[in-house]
Amino acid sequence: MSDAPLLEVKDLRVEFPTRRGTLVALDGVSFSIAPGEVLGVVGESGAGKSMTGAAIIGLLEPPGRIAGGEIRLNGRRIDNLPYEQMRRVRGREIGAIFQDPLTTLNPLYTVGHQLIETMRTHLDLSAAEARARAISWLEMVGIPAAAQRVDSYPHEFSGGMRQRVVIALALCAEPKLVVADEPTTALDVSIQAQVIALLKRLAREKGTSMMLVTHDMGVIAETADRVAVMYAGRIAEIGPVREVVKHPKHPYTAGLMASIPPLDRKVEHLAQIEGAMPRLSAIPKGCAFNPRCPKVFDRCRHERPDLMDTGATHAACWLYDKVENYA
């Protein structure tokens, strides 16, 4: 894309110091998100996808810390901002949606109060204007009888309705980027479909960029423009969602796609990847996927691959190393 990226993450490294040594949770993660683009981030538990989101919104759980690399929003570095400044960025420039709507909403305040407070913190609005906007936001996310519901407390909403409120809350200060971490995982499938449709529509209407973190490849396929597949704290493959889903290049992506049970047919034996993702304390030397990889060769066991051009996508895999790289 020709436009300057809205978000640029370069060589991000996140470490967790522990008594038994430092764990590297993210290592050399680089990607960018263009204005209006939806980037999906997938991976299995512990791959580092939520960690990446947390690092961007400046909410890494201590003792986790950014140990290297940089994060730029509109060209400005945000990974080293002091807490107060980062708090202004969060909400105004980056909205966040988390998996569990109950922990995002404050149970002691009405949803209207929370929306009004967020808007008035970040936007120059009078109390009356903010209230009117809060009601129109609730309408936009599909809450019926919004003018009355604005004075309800979070516990008076169902799970799906709460997640709609959370979406309104994340978008009400009109941020340029929304980081959504498993926004539909806690929801039932029929409600999930409603929430995905809502997120897609709002992102398109408002021109908001989105980083959508999920383990559900189906959600990504429906929503994202590009996708990054993570494995053991690194990006294994990144590219346009259609290419990654239909023609995965990295053996891990290929295995992951093949192991998803299809809905439209019965298969006698599902493809499976043997073994499990390594723990952070025992990431293998070389390519982290090498002990499970069906195409492993000697080099994979010793040298760690960076992202390489495979044509349509970029994959961190020695299979795609071009000879000219040596020259």
Interface ranges with another protein (CB under 8 A): 44-45, 141-142, 144-145, 158, 160-161, 164, 188-194, 196-198, 201, 215-219, 221-223, 241-242, 245-246, 255-257, 259-267, 269-274, 276-277
What's the CA gap between 208 and 95, in Å, rounded?
10
Q: 252 with 289: CB under 8 angstroms?
A: yes
Name which of 73 and 195 has its Cβ closer to another protein. 195
Name which of 84 and 264 has its Cβ closer to another protein. 264
Name which of 67 and 193 has its Cβ closer to another protein. 193
Minimum Å distance from CB 129 to another protein? 25
If DSSP states are collapsed to H, E and C, what string results for 291-307?
HHCCCCCHHHHCCCCCC
Residues, the chain: 327
Minimum Å distance from CB 140 to another protein? 9
Minimum Å distance from CB 161 to another protein? 8
140: closest CA among 96, 197, 57, 92?
197
Residue linked to tokens 């109950």? 102
User: What b/e sequence results for 187-209 when a residue is b if at least 16 CB atoms lie within 10 Å of its CB, and e otherwise?
Assistant: beeebbebbbebbbebbeeeebb
What does the radius of gyration of the chain's CA atoms come to, in whole angstroms? 21
List 24's β-bridge partners, or say none.
Answer: 15
Q: What amino acid occupies position 306?
A: D
> 3-class SS at 97?
strand
Q: What amino acid occupies position 83?
A: Y
Minimum Å distance from CB 327 to another protein? 37
Name which of 78 and 273 has its Cβ closer to another protein. 273
What's the CA gap between 44 and 219, in Å, rounded?
14
Minimum Å distance from CB 313 to another protein? 15
Name which of 27 and 216 has its Cβ closer to another protein. 216
Name which of 82 and 144 has its Cβ closer to another protein. 144
Minimum Å distance from CB 83 to another protein? 34
Distances in Å between the Cα of 316 and the Cα atoms of 46, 256, 300 are 18, 15, 11
137: closest CA among 118, 124, 159?
118
Q: What amino acid occupies position 193?
A: A
Name which of 15 and 222 has its Cβ closer to another protein. 222
Minimum Å distance from CB 279 to another protein? 8
Minimum Å distance from CB 217 to another protein? 6
Name which of 56 and 287 has its Cβ closer to another protein. 287
Minimum Å distance from CB 219 to another protein? 5
Q: 108 with 117: CB under 8 angstroms?
A: no
Name which of 134 and 195 has its Cβ closer to another protein. 195
What's the CA gap between 237 and 234, in Å, rounded?
9
State the Cα angle at 303 between 288 and 52, rounded to 5°. 45
